[in-house]
């Protein structure tokens, strides 16, 4: 029962931290880390023993699957060059540069172990960046950070595993490691795509036979990232990349017919999971902080001097990581700028190059993958021999995570000062063209609609009502077309009238809901009717969209 109580307390804290984050001008991840550390204070004494393998299995597959699902595929492909250089090239650059520096500043850490630590410090967390930037980052930069976070999780952890093997066995072959890296990455991607495709075919087969219960399909989607991760790991491939690939593939397969209710339920369930899991990750990091500090200072005679020197080591390592990232980003950014100018193309982002480089540099926040990876370091390197400086590795990783979050909290708002995220005109025009073409398709379909039911002719009154309804629907679609084809002033007026109509509809819907509650309180209707009518009213209100 103690484990169940702990889980419930943590989930409650995730919700409370969201409310506290609205009142305190701090990013949500920092609030959650502080809440976890406060809970772990000796007075409260909440202790959670973190199993790294269980942590990896429970948290990372669904979060990476969801990130892959939501990642704009067209933008990912358009920015594939910068993303791959950040996700692969920067990881290797960081492993070599930071690895040698860690071994130099802390000689007690062997060089292969230093490379392993540098590798596990390479993966970034786009979720934390998004929470800190609050959607103010230019869209291309945010897509770069999201794509990098998706891909460098795999590259960083695979490199980490190779470095651990080298530390344990003392044997390392660059050629063999490179070939294994490619096979592991390609294998993970292939397994994720294939499994996601099979699940899509299974769902299509079920729908064709009328088995379209939304709850059943959502359960399949919840199990898919775990299945992709486990299958890939069992076959020796990258489970992380498999989960990402499954999510990206499933976003194409999600457009199945007769699945509107499933998609609505799916979005709600995944939004809940993302919120809870991301909050739990940072709460668990806060809960581990006292144990991490205690472990790294347990073998020393004095607490504070040792802790101060260890904190200075963390600051130095973080500064080197930041410098290496800036050097790589600056070099690649200049190279991409030269290539795009040579091809006669515009810059990727409408922000000055120096500011863009610093935004990408500071935006490389470390998070869940770094914590999970470093906690998976084995206790023993061989029988009876402890892994060298394991507690110090965990302390450094936790310190880098905290410093990256704090520096992003301070630097990103300063760098974004004066930068207003202007609406994407190309995206808005594309959306308008899509609405116009779909409205034209609806009008053509209504014009060709035969006003008979299953071949049975309607009588005169029914035919008149059907024709009136058909004309009313066509008039609504023609009104949409007129709105899209009007001038900017007319579109602005139409938008104002649309907002007024939405407010009136919202007021009417809320009046309906209050009357429904009143009828229920007076015992004039039953619970089944309340649920049915309330569901339809909620769906109508959701369809209104945001009302200003």
Cα–Cα distance, 271 to 266 (Å, whole number): 8
pLDDT at 291: 78
CB distance 393 to 88 below 8 Å: no
Convert the pLDDT of each residue in 71-96 to its tens digit. 777 778 888 888 888 888 899 899 99
pLDDT of 505 higher than 50: yes
- Contacts (Cβ under 8 Å, ≥6 apart) of 93: 324, 328
Cα–Cα distance, 193 to 238 (Å, whole number): 13
pLDDT of 352 higher than 70: no
| Mean pLDDT computed over every residue of the chain | 79
pLDDT at 198: 92
Largest pairwise CA distance in the chain: 98
Residue 456 pairs in a beta bridge with: 453
Percent of the chain with pLDDT over 70: 80
Stretch 475-489: mean pLDDT = 70
User: Could you write out the three-class secondary structure of 487-531?
Assistant: CHHHHHHHHHHHHHHHHHHHHHHHHHHHHHHHHHHCCCCCHHHHH
pLDDT of 228 higher than 90: yes
Q: How confident is the model at residue 454 (pLDDT cuts 50, 70, 90)?
A: very low
Positive or negative torsion for Cα 480, 486, 492, 493: negative
Cα–Cα distance, 328 to 93 (Å, whole number): 8
Cα–Cα distance, 305 to 85 (Å, whole number): 40
pLDDT at 387: 74
pLDDT of 44 higher than 90: no
Convert the pLDDT of each residue in 13-35 to its tens digit. 888 888 887 788 777 778 888 88
Stretch 287-297: mean pLDDT = 79
Find the range with the poorest average confidence among 292-306, 340-354, 404-418.
340-354
What's the gap between Cα 196 and its chain centre?
19
DSSP string computed for 141-159: HHHHHHHHHHHHHHHHHHH
Phi, psi of 344 (to 5 degrees): 80, 25
Best mean pLDDT range from 165-169, 237-241, 466-470: 237-241
Q: What share of the chain is helix, strand, coil (3-state, %, to 5)?
A: 80, 0, 20
* The CATH number of domain 2-422 is 1.10.3720.10: no
pLDDT at 420: 61
Q: How confident is the model at residue 230 (pLDDT cuts 50, 70, 90)?
A: very high
491 compared with 525, residue with greater pLDDT: 525
Find the range with the poorest average confidence among 20-34, 41-55, 450-464, 532-546.
450-464
Scanning 303-367, the segments in alpha helix (DSSP H) are 303-342, 353-362
pLDDT of 423 higher than 70: no
pLDDT at 289: 81
Cα–Cα distance, 350 to 421 (Å, whole number): 10
| Strand bridging mode 380-382 / 385-386 | antiparallel
Cα–Cα distance, 289 to 291 (Å, whole number): 5
Stretch 313-341: mean pLDDT = 87
Length of the chain: 548
Exposure of 233 in the CB half-sphere (CA atoms within 13 A): 16
485 compared with 388, residue with greater pLDDT: 388
Find the range with the poorest average confidence among 53-57, 91-95, 111-115.
53-57
């Amino acid at each position: 029962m103690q484990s169940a109580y702990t889980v419930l307390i943590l989930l409650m804290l995730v919700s409370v931290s969201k409310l506290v984050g609205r009142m305190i001008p701090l990013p949500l991840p920092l609030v959650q880390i502080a809440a976890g550390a406060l809970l772990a204070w000796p007075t409260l004494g909440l202790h959670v023993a973190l199993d790294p393998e269980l942590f990896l299995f429970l948290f990372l597959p669904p979060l990476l699957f969801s990130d892959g699902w939501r990642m704009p595929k067209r933008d990912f492909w358009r920015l594939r060059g910068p993303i791959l250089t950040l996700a692969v090239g920067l990881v290797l650059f960081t492993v070599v540069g930071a690895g040698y520096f860690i071994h130099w500043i802390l000689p007690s850490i062997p060089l292969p172990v230093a490379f392993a630590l540098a590798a596990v410090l390479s993966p970034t967390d786009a979720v934390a960046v998004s929470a800190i930037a609050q959607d103010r980052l230019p869209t291309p930069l945010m897509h770069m950070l999201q794509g990098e976070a998706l891909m460098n999780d795999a590259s960083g952890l695979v490199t980490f595993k190779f470095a651990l093997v080298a530390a344990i066995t003392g044997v390392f072959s660059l050629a063999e490691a490179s070939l294994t890296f490619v096979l592991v990455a390609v294998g993970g991607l292939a397994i994720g795509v294939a499994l996601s495709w099979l699940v899509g075919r299974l769902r299509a087969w079920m729908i064709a036979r009328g088995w379209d219960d939304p709850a059943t399909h959502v359960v399949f989607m919840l199990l898919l990232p775990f299945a992709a991760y486990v299958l890939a790991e069992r076959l020796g491939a990258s489970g992380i990349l498999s989960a990402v690939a499954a999510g990206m593939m499933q976003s194409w397969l999600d457009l199945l017919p007769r699945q509107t209710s499933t998609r609505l339920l799916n979005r709600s369930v995944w939004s809940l999971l993302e919120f809870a899991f991301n909050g739990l990750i940072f709460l668990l990091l806060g809960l581990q902080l006292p144990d991490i500090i205690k472990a790294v200072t347990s073998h020393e005679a004095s607490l504070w001097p040792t802790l101060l020197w260890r904190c200075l080591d963390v600051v130095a390592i973080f500064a080197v990581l930041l410098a290496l990232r800036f050097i790589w980003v600056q070099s690649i950014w200049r190279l991409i700028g030269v290539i795009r100018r040579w091809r006669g193309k515009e810059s990727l982002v409408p922000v000055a190059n120096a500011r863009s480089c610093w935004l990408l540099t500071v935006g490389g926040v470390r998070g869940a993958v770094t914590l999970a990876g470093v906690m998976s370091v084995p206790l023993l390197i061989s029988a009876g021999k402890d892994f060298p400086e394991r507690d110090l590795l965990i302390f450094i990783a936790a310190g880098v995570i905290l410093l990256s979050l704090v520096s992003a909290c301070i630097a990103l708002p300063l760098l974004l000062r004066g930068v207003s995220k202007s609406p994407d005109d190309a995206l808005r025009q594309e959306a308008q063209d899509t609405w116009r073409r779909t409205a034209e398709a609806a009008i053509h379909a209504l014009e060709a609609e035969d006003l008979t039911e299953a071949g049975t002719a309607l009588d005169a009154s029914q035919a008149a009502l059907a024709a009136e309804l058909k004309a009313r629907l066509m008039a609504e679609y023609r009104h949409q077309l007129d709105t899209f084809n009007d001038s900017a002033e007319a579109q602005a007026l139409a938008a104002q009238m649309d907002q007024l109509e939405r407010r009136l509809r919202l007021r009417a819907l809320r009046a309906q809901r209050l009357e429904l509650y009143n009828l229920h309180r007076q015992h004039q209707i039953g619970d089944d009717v309340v649920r049915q009518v309330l569901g339809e009213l909620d769906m109508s209100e959701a369809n209104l969209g945001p009302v200003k």
